[in-house]
């Protein structure tokens, strides 16, 4: 409370005391005694009033400074209170708000003045706020409610409102004071408590369920053991099927080798003999040599065509060059034939140490390369094919790449039609000799087949030589 102003008696007493102890005033001129006495009294009264005014001025200044200090303290308490304070009129418009209240709504204080509080209330809480304000303005008792407020950024929080009506000192307008506190943590704690109770009930039900399930756990374990046994049996059957496939491929390769030698050693040589005899007959004829020579020439052409066809058939089954000249010569001949038939540019690089591989491994590499090159010529629509053989540590790596059309590798591997068994056959051949095969195909990049098989030893000649076809 501000101090009370001093009484007139106290002011006069204080002023007279100051005059007695203050500097001497000049005496008036001598003259009429009554006039002199009146002048002295008048002068004395003036001096007393002057001192009284000075004392009042000092005391008023001190009271003003004390009031400013008190106002500053009150402002700090009001603005930085732990809850928000809002002054609302009967329409719910914000007349005043402290800094805490502005922070709760996420806006500056100046942006909140004259705005309706219900603008910051979530839709489900709008009726609650209306009823709360009606109760506040209807009586003098403090009213309480809980509503969901929405900040300027869109986030919501639960708030507890305490309100009481008030009357303005300037006019008869009604307004009210409302304190707002954030109770989101309390609501969350209550929700957590409710969930804990629900979880406790659920846990009791789960314990009952656990007891029931423990009754069937032993049977599940027996079933699991049975499944493991079946899985092991299935794995064994798969391994047997794989071994059978490997043996089948090996038998097929041996059969192709036998047929190729028979075609080359018997049929081709017989046709060559026929060709030689016909040529001798053409030299010895005496009757109508021109007509006979034309016939013989046509026969020679047919025989030569047959020989070429038989030789091509033999190469397709198994080229003799693979056994006689080696893998590099056979691959070179295969690529040369592809370039001649299709016009595709080819490039072949290899290292001589590849010829030291076993016959089975060289055969597997040739079969994969032959199948890949054949597929390129038939389906890829490529303009270039690169085939390379190189030594990597203790393995031989073969890579066949083209710039043709791409395809879905996984779909091809999953396909069951015979037309798409080429990739599976390649993979089986390479796995049969302990190697690995991978295929990459993407639009715009073409297709690349990579093969890696163990060589058994590291060859000293691991460099590559380029061969253009």
pLDDT higher than 80, residue 460: no
| CA dihedral sign of residues 214, 220, 225, 231 | negative
Pairing of strands 446-454, 395-402: antiparallel
Q: Is residue 428 part of a domain?
A: yes
What residues does 145 pair with on adjacent strands?
A: 161
Q: Is residue 346 part of a domain?
A: yes
Q: What's the confidence (pLDDT) of residue 56?
A: 76
pLDDT higher than 80, residue 38: no
Q: Is residue 211 part of a domain?
A: no
Distances (CA, A) of 460 to 22, 348, 353, 387, 463: 125, 20, 7, 21, 9
CATH number at residue 124: 3.30.450.20
Rounded Cα–Cα distance for residues 347 and 466 (Å) = 7
- Which of 79, 95, 120 is the last residue before a domain boundary? 79
CB atoms within 10 A of CB 403: 18
CATH number at residue 351: 3.30.565.10
Counting the structural domains of the chain, the total is 3
What residues does 447 pair with on adjacent strands?
A: 402, 441
pLDDT in tens, 380-406: 788 899 999 999 888 999 999 998 887
- Which of 59, 79, 99 is the last residue before a domain boundary? 79
What residues does 179 pair with on adjacent strands?
A: 85, 162
Average pLDDT, the chain: 79
Q: Is residue 363 part of a domain?
A: yes
Q: Is residue 442 part of a domain?
A: yes
Residue that wins the pLDDT comparison between 290 and 97: 97
User: Are 437 and 337 members of one domain?
Assistant: yes
| pTM greater than the 0.75 cutoff | no
Question: Three-state SS for 285?
Answer: coil
User: Are 332 and 433 members of one domain?
Assistant: yes
CB atoms within 10 A of CB 240: 10
Q: Is residue 17 part of a domain?
A: yes
Q: Is residue 30 part of a domain?
A: yes
Q: Which domain holds residue 461?
A: 326-468
pLDDT in tens, 292-349: 676 677 777 767 777 776 766 666 666 666 777 888 888 898 899 888 888 889 999 9
Phi first, then psi, for residue 2 (nearest 5°) are -70, 150
User: Are 64 and 89 members of one domain?
Assistant: no
Q: Is residue 144 part of a domain?
A: yes
- Which of 148, 182, 216 is the last residue before a domain boundary? 182
User: Are 393 and 462 members of one domain?
Assistant: yes
The average pLDDT across 56-60 equals 78
User: Are 44 and 89 members of one domain?
Assistant: no
DSSP 117: G
User: Are 139 and 50 members of one domain?
Assistant: no
DSSP 154: S
């Amino acid at each position: 409370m501000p101090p009370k102003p001093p009484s007139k008696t106290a002011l006069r007493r204080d002023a007279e005391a100051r005059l007695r102890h203050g500097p001497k005033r000049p005496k008036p001129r001598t003259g009429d005694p009554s006039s002199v006495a009146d002048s002295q009294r008048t002068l004395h009264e003036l001096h007393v009033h002057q001192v009284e005014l000075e004392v009042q001025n000092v005391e008023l200044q001190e009271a003003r400074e004390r009031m400013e200090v008190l106002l500053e303290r009150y402002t700090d308490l009001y603005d930085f209170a732990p809850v928000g304070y809002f002054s609302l009129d009967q329409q719910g418009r914000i007349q005043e708000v402290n800094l805490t209240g502005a922070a709760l709504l996420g806006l500056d204080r100046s942006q909140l003045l004259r705005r309706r509080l219900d603008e910051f209330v979530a839709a489900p809480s709008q009726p609650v706020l209306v009823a709360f304000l009606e109760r506040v303005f209807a009586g003098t008792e403090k009213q309480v409610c809980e509503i969901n407020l929405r900040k300027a950024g869109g986030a919501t929080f639960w708030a507890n409102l305490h309100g009481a009506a008030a009357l303005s000192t300037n006019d008869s307008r009604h307004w009210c004071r409302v304190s707002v506190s954030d109770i989101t943590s309390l609501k969350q704690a209550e929700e957590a408590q409710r969930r804990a109770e629900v979880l406790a009930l659920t846990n009791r039900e789960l314990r009952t369920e656990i007891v029931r399930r423990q009754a069937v756990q032993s049977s599940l374990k027996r079933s699991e053991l049975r499944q493991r046994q079946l899985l092991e049996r299935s794995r064994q059957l798969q391994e047997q099927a794989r071994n059978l496939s490997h043996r089948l491929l090996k038998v097929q390769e041996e059969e192709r080798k036998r047929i190729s030698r028979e075609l080359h050693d018997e049929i081709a040589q017989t046709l060559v003999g026929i060709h030689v005899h016909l040529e001798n007959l053409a030299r010895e004829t005496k009757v109508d040599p021109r007509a006979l020579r034309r016939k013989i020439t046509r026969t020679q052409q047919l025989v030569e065509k047959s020989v070429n066809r038989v030789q091509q058939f033999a190469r397709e089954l198994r080229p003799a060059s693979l056994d006689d000249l080696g893998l590099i010569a056979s691959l070179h001949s295969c690529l040369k034939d592809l370039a001649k038939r299709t016009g595709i540019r080819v490039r072949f690089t290899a290292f001589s140490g590849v010829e030291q591989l076993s016959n089975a491994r060289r055969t597997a590499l040739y079969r994969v390369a032959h199948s890949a090159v054949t597929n390129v010529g038939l389906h890829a629509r490529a303009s270039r094919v690169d085939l390379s053989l190189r030594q990597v540590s203790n393995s031989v790596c073969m890579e066949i790449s083209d710039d043709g059309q791409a395809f879905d590798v996984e779909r091809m591997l999953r396909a069951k039609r015979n037309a798409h068994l080429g990739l599976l056959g390649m993979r089986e051949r390479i796995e049969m000799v302990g190697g690995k095969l991978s295929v990459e195909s993407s639009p715009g990049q073409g297709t690349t087949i990579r093969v890696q098989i163990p060589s058994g030893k590291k060859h000293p000649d691991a460099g590559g030589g380029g061969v253009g076809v």
